Amino acid sequence: MTVDENEVRKFVEWLPEISEDEAYVVQVMLRPWKPSHTNIPKSGLLHLEVIEGGDGFRERLFDAIVRAALLASNAGTVFRVAHHGRMVRVPPDAVAVYTRVNPSLLIRAATRLCIEHIEYLQSAAYSGKVEYSVLTRRIASVLAREIHTRFHIIDVDDDSIVDNVVAAVEDIVGYVPPRIKTRRGLHILVPVSNLDANRAKKWFREVLPMLMERYRGLIEYKREGLEPTPGTVYKGVVVRLLL
């Protein structure tokens, strides 16, 4: 299966509304995980789309995700990457589609991009070496840093502890939180809108530190929100959104 469009639609309709100066970001990225993937880089950005808010943003986002999934499934034809001095084809099963569930703040990102790129060009002028491909990476970087945090994410890499972690989050937000199911484990999305002052204090001072200590090495806390996209294939399995 290349893409489960019903699952993509469910995900797109579930995502929070965004304003015209915010955007959801869709990325196709290298994610090698098999022993046979040793002949390609361990990571890398292959494709990026920025879907601004405004009229029809959900349809535009749906189209962007389906398009990214088609690119990923045809990665061996579409993408080549540099590795140890030569260009190599990218196997489709070493590629994944990600969507950032925390929207980027476009004006702040654009401002930061201008400042950082001017600084880079100034330093490059002294060295005489300008790497123009750095601009694409910097765009992706500022979009990741300048975000409107809608969710805190806990990645759980061990199915045996999923229920305990979900229960701890449920105790804070008052209901079973949204989850993204991948090949192994679960990505738990903690909605910021459910964290009032008292709950946020308890979350950051008590619950989160307890979880990180108790399940050290088995869970990861993330703020950025770049997640495997429901409805697309990730490590050979279709990603699912659990509500």
CATH (domain of 175): 3.30.70
pLDDT band at 155 (very low <50, low <70, confident <90, very high): very high
Q: Where are the beta strands (DSSP E) in the chain?
A: 22-30, 44-52, 80-83, 86-89, 95-100, 104-105, 151-156, 179-181, 186-191, 219-222, 226-228, 233-234, 237-238, 240-242
Q: Could you tell me the two tokens for 156?
A: 């759980």
User: Does the residue 179 lie in any domain?
Assistant: yes
Whole-angstrom Cα Rg for the chain? 19
User: Does the residue 40 lie in any domain?
Assistant: no
User: Does the residue 204 lie in any domain?
Assistant: yes
- Whole-number Å distance between alpha carbons of 11 and 148: 18
Place of tokens 């001095």: 85
User: Does the residue 161 lie in any domain?
Assistant: yes
Least confident interval from 97-101, 149-153, 195-199: 195-199
Task: Compute the average pLDDT of residues 93-120.
Answer: 93
Q: How many CB atoms lie within 10 A of CB 195?
A: 17
Q: For residues 52 and 105, is the Cβ–Cβ distance under 8 A?
A: no
User: Does the residue 55 lie in any domain?
Assistant: no
Total number of domains constituting the chain: 1
Which range of residues forms the domain containing residue 168? Answer: 150-222
User: Does the residue 45 lie in any domain?
Assistant: no
If we measure between CA atoms, which residue out of 177, 194, 195, 173 comes closest to residue 186? 177
pLDDT of 116 higher than 90: no
User: Does the residue 88 lie in any domain?
Assistant: no
50-77 confidence digits (pLDDT tens): 999 999 999 999 999 999 999 999 999 9
User: Does the residue 207 lie in any domain?
Assistant: yes
Q: For residues 150 and 181, is the Cβ–Cβ distance under 8 A?
A: no
